[in-house]
Structure 1
Amino acid sequence: MYTPQNLGRVIDPAADPARVALLGVDLALNESPCTYGELEAMADGVARALLQGGGQPGDRVAILAANSVRYVATLLGIMRAGLIAVPVNFKFPPATIAYVLEDSGARVVFYDHERRNAVPAGLQAIALDGEPFLDYLRPGPTPEAPVSPEDVALMLYTSGSTGKPKGVRLSHASHLWTVRMRRQATPLDAERALIAAPLYHMNALALVLLSLSSHATTVLLPQFTAAAYIQCIGRYRCTWLTAVPPMIAMMLREHDLLARTDLSSVKVIRMGSAPVSASLLAQIHAMLPNAKVINAYGTTEGGPVVFGPHPDKLPTPPMSVGYPHPAVSLRQARGPADGPEQGILEMKSPGLMLGYHQRPDLPPPFTPDGYYSTGDVFRHDDQGFYYFVGRRDDMFVSGGENIYPGEVEKMLEHHPAVQQACVVPVEDDIKGQKPVAYIVLRPGKHAEADEIKRYALAHAPAYQHPRQVWFVDALPLASTNKIDRAFLLRDAASRMNAPNRPSTARPPSA
């Protein structure tokens, strides 16, 4: 079996160079196919150009662009040269982009046309569009750039809801291990993956590395739109998808397109970033009748290899993220309010990050015995299956009771008219904080705020019921396609402080 030492060499050189590696598709569905041979040549061309330009081991090189074939080639080329790739979240505000580029110490940035104005002056900048990129390449095989297993290959910046983004240092060894573990569990050799999530996020980045290692063909969209995503599934007979619940909710609104598109090719959809509710799961099965739904879990710091199937082949319960992976050690740190089966997940595996980049202001993310504390609260059942409860940071206290928004949201999404729910706290003079809810209704369904409140009171402890309910057309998304809770926290506070506030309203789009 091919075992590279450099993450940029994840493609097996003995595999068929004529096979299509990446099928770049723009939002107008224009195709740009790239074979494995062409991708290898392009990646080598980037690596040689960086080295001939004076690149030294440990130099950081940023990519500020939407998904594209050239993005992937550049990512591989940076690592092949023994340099550190820094994919930048281009949805950050300009000041935050400038901070990331400065904090990372990037000496070069590759960008696409739409991001040109976000590149700070004085930084060497190379356009990925058109002829300038081809002129930049230096043809020929890359000189072997020796790397040690613990050398940094990637630096991803997390987009925490508060504070400055943190640079997560990921080694060659950690993510080659991740690729190897995922290939053993879910080989993509005969699959066709579809990627629309941004490559600056672990979800998409891990999948493209897995697909390239498997010598599969990947359909690559520059970004997610429900219409383009659905059309690509039908046109290219995609079999493997990754998504987050808001993406599915947007797809479900495309009634006419769904009705005339054959989605039967999809065999697996790996859901991440937030747990799938029973209601959403039923809708996924109706939309993708042949697809197995994997309720996945992972973090930038710990990687995507955490859970898997039960060793005794017990079926994974629909709401569970699975059983601990055999190569990962898990435990739960219990707080005063946690029961014997619940606590913050701590993990140890070869896939862990090396640490944060120059952030001595942060408390150490590792325990003294080397476990990474995720900050995510899980519970486990008698069979050893784990269930996501919520972020400890999202938990709030109302009248002395701990409330995890995720638990309340799952309950609300059982209501037959509710498509999605998001619960956030607002200040209260008596309770300290109290929950309010934003609701997206299912197409063609209707509900009143009082009806939602009565349902919550009938199906959950009284302290969990939302004191205000606001119906919205869609929940705002943050830059990683997760629900933007920080925006909703601000919006809810503004609504509660507004005179003569209505009990139902629609927030501005975000």
Structure 2
Amino acid sequence: MAGTERIWLKHYPPEVPAKLNYPDIPITRFLIDAAKDFPDRDAVIFLGKRLTFSQLLDQVYRFANALKSLGVKRGERVGIMLPNSPQAIIAYYATLFLGAVVVQINPLYMRKELEHQLKDSGTETIVCLDAVLPKVREVEPVTELKRIIVTGIKDYLPFPKNWLFALKSKIDGTSVKVEYNDHVHSFVRLLKKALPKPVDAVYESGDDLALLQYTGGTTGLAKGAMLTHRNLVVNCLQAEAWLYKAKRGKDKILGALPFFHVYGMTVVMNFAIRLASTIILVPKFDRDLILQLINKYRPTYFPGAPTMYVGLINHPSIDQYDLSSIEACLSGSAPLPVEVQEQFEKLTGGRLLEGYGMTETSPVTHSNLVWERVKNSTIGLPWPDTDARIVDPETGEVLRPGEVGELQVKGPQVMKGYWNRPEETKQVLKDGWLSTGDIGRMDEDGYFYIIDRKKDTIIAGGFNIYPREVEEILFEHPAIEEASVVGVPDPYRGETVKAFIVLKKGQQVTEDELNQFCRARLASYKVPRLYEFRDELPKSSVGKVLRRVLVEEEKVKLQQKAQ
């Protein structure tokens, strides 16, 4: 096998072409087209608040003009630290209309995480939620931030929800008083003052940088994957070809995946704008709210992570909700258990399919077919114009079907490289082929399987967690001598974080104390859920802690429990 033969194409349905034509346009063109063709169709439904496509484009233009008036220029990085909300969509597209570069930031980040991302990207403007403003102000002195634009959930809630939300925030103490000045601005006030005149920065080509999406990648600490306008346009059009029964201006998509994650950004936000589909926004995962939204607004597509579907099928009142509007769900970010797939499909009558992607690939490269034959426990087939192969991790030799090695992918959705990291880019990108760091195999039909992670990344609830980052926080505790963090199987999150601790002689610390210590320094999903205190950790002959031994020990414990 030469590595470029696409044996999977024989399984493509007639409706899905092997090759697509990709126009040389910015990703913002999709919004202009949707507003032109479906001006009065709902673009967004947010907890009862509705915005049509013409209204959305109007507000995007206003915010783009507001950013321009503040001095934001082409190529500058604009951080967006927001949950799923109309403001997140408006800030994203407004930034891109200006020719500036979006830097997506998880609102759950703590100081160290936020500081690293802002400094590394050179972000000068940030659009953030009022609740996270204290964290932003804390890191402001050590970053290049010049402008902070603040908004709140209540800003886009309909009356009386906006009033009740503000009242509840005051009562429970989560209300944040914002003092506006020359560099701290109100999102709502900026919109009101700005004009909705079209803004279209000089667009040179699809190679124009659109996004810095941070990831640990396949080698260590978080770095910015440089995604271009072409990358984003391509992945949207590939998704449209794959879900060929989707019709422009007809569908509704449940937006439960966070848009600050590349998966939600592409398969929900950008894809919905491309198809002029209504996005039913979910600010955070709440299974009660999601069931109510499905029951009320009847979405046809529901991209998600396995933990979301697990949460829904195990809801005690699931039988009281009508989920029959769901036609298809693309599951990503973590392996999808077969039993979860089968139960969810039985509940909805729709299809739940596993796919695969990476931040570095914008993100989707593989998926099972939506309306045709599916092989269980696979990530499916490569998408149009996408090559994939399995190679020997040591020699790079392309392996035959059935042989196990490292998955490599190649296609027009693959990133430009890592921001300011040419050496790390060279390590993972060679001749257009991206080394994913995942170990897998391809069968004789061209279906791909992921067997294990080459690196030690933990994927819990769809979020990537890097053990080294958690370990560094644990090492800051004065009682800890050694710490090693691994992912252990979890029936709900896929994996959960377990920390193995060796205490300094004469020191004592409880699990509760460590939990509080970590929660003050890490996003909640990164905090260890399990702790085990040991006298020593397994090490190699050169003193390196052997995480794999710890993982194997955990597997043995699970097997013994099951017997």
- How would you bin the TM-score normalised by the shorter chain? 0.7 to 0.9
TM alignment of 1:307-456, pairs within 5 A:
307-308=366-367, 315-335=373-393, 341-360=403-422, 362=424, 364-394=426-456, 438=489, 440=491
How far apart are the structure 1 equivalents of 2:294 and 2:118?
35
Superposed displacement of residue 5, structure 1? 1.8
Aligned to 2:30: 10
Superposed displacement of residue 71, structure 1? 1.1
Q: Does 1:209 align with 2:270?
A: yes
How far apart are the structure 2 equivalents of 1:153 and 1:439?
36
In structure 2, the CA distance between the partners of 1:262 and 1:309, relative to structure 1 (3 Å rule), is: closer
Aligned to 1:402: none
1:8–1:78 CA contact under 8 A, matched in 2: no
How far apart are the structure 2 equivalents of 1:188 and 1:244?
24
In structure 2, the CA distance between the partners of 1:37 and 1:273, relative to structure 1 (3 Å rule), is: same
Aligned to 2:123: 106
In structure 2, the CA distance between the partners of 1:322 and 1:221, relative to structure 1 (3 Å rule), is: same
TM alignment of 1:265-276, pairs within 5 A:
265-276=325-336
Aligned to 1:170: 227
Superposed displacement of residue 394, structure 1? 3.7
Aligned to 1:494: 533
1:63–1:110 CA contact under 8 A, matched in 2: yes
1:65–1:115 CA contact under 8 A, matched in 2: no
The amino acid across from 1:253 in the alignment is N
In structure 2, the CA distance between the partners of 1:495 and 1:202, relative to structure 1 (3 Å rule), is: farther
Aligned to 1:299: 358
Q: Secondary structure, in 3 states, of the residue corresponding to 1:67?
A: coil
How far apart are the structure 1 equivalents of 2:524 and 2:302?
17
The amino acid across from 1:202 in the alignment is V
Q: Does 1:146 align with 2:202?
A: yes
- 1:35-57 Cα deviation digits (max 9, x unpaired): 10110011111111222222222
Aligned to 1:264: 324
In structure 2, the CA distance between the partners of 1:356 and 1:436, relative to structure 1 (3 Å rule), is: closer
1:285–1:291 CA contact under 8 A, matched in 2: yes
- 1:176-199 Cα deviation digits (max 9, x unpaired): 111122122213532211011211
Unaligned runs of 5+ in 1: 26-30, 396-404, 410-423, 425-432, 442-476, 506-510
1:244–1:273 CA contact under 8 A, matched in 2: yes
Aligned to 1:465: none
Aligned to 2:66: 49
Superposed displacement of residue 365, structure 1? 4.2
Aligned to 1:62: 79
2:218–2:436 CA contact under 8 A, matched in 1: no
Q: Secondary structure, in 3 states, of the residue corresponding to 1:155?
A: strand
In structure 2, the CA distance between the partners of 1:173 and 1:114, relative to structure 1 (3 Å rule), is: same
1:22 counterpart (44, 62, 74): 44
- 1:446-470 Cα deviation digits (max 9, x unpaired): xxxxxxxxxxxxxxxxxxxxxxxxx
Superposed displacement of residue 209, structure 1? 0.5
Unaligned runs of 5+ in 2: 1-20, 156-184, 461-466, 468-483, 493-518, 538-553, 559-563
In structure 2, the CA distance between the partners of 1:152 and 1:60, relative to structure 1 (3 Å rule), is: same
How far apart are the structure 2 equivalents of 1:205 and 1:99?
22
| Higher relative contact order, structure no. (Cα contacts within 8 Å, ≥ 6 residues apart) | 2
Q: Secondary structure, in 3 states, of the residue corresponding to 2:260?
A: coil
- 1:252-290 Cα deviation digits (max 9, x unpaired): 33212x1211111111111101221222222222332x1
1:156–1:169 CA contact under 8 A, matched in 2: yes
Aligned to 1:124: 147
How far apart are the structure 2 equivalents of 1:482 and 1:181?
34
How far apart are the structure 2 equivalents of 1:178 and 1:160?
19
How far apart are the structure 1 equivalents of 2:131 and 2:324?
35
Q: Secondary structure, in 3 states, of the residue corresponding to 1:119?
A: helix
Tell me which moved more, 244-253 or 15-24. 244-253
How far apart are the structure 2 equivalents of 1:365 and 1:151?
23
Aligned to 1:449: none
- 1:323-367 Cα deviation digits (max 9, x unpaired): 222311111122479885222111111111111112356362444
Aligned to 1:470: none
Q: Secondary structure, in 3 states, of the residue corresponding to 1:37?
A: helix
Superposed displacement of residue 318, structure 1? 2.1
In structure 2, the CA distance between the partners of 1:437 and 1:156, relative to structure 1 (3 Å rule), is: closer
How far apart are the structure 2 equivalents of 1:482 and 1:374?
27
Superposed displacement of residue 3, structure 1? 5.0
1:188–1:211 CA contact under 8 A, matched in 2: no
- 1:6-40 Cα deviation digits (max 9, x unpaired): 22232214312111001112xxxxx1111101100
1:365–1:372 CA contact under 8 A, matched in 2: no
Q: Secondary structure, in 3 states, of the residue corresponding to 2:28?
A: helix
Structure ranking higher in helix proportion: 2
Aligned to 1:133: 187
How far apart are the structure 2 equivalents of 1:242 and 1:487?
27
User: TM-score, normalised to structure 2's length?
Assistant: 0.68
| Cα root mean square deviation, aligned | 3.6
In structure 2, the CA distance between the partners of 1:325 and 1:78, relative to structure 1 (3 Å rule), is: same
How far apart are the structure 2 equivalents of 1:380 and 1:82?
40
Tell me which moved more, 360-369 or 260-269. 360-369
TM alignment of 1:145-294, pairs within 5 A:
145-147=201-203, 148-158=205-215, 163-186=220-243, 187=246, 189=248, 190-206=250-266, 207-256=268-317, 258-288=318-348, 290-294=349-353
Q: Secondary structure, in 3 states, of the residue corresponding to 2:528?
A: helix
User: TM-score, normalised to structure 1's length?
Assistant: 0.74
In structure 2, the CA distance between the partners of 1:483 and 1:393, relative to structure 1 (3 Å rule), is: farther
The percent of aligned pairs where both chains have the same amino acid is 24
Superposed displacement of residue 223, structure 1? 1.1
How far apart are the structure 2 equivalents of 1:251 and 1:196?
12
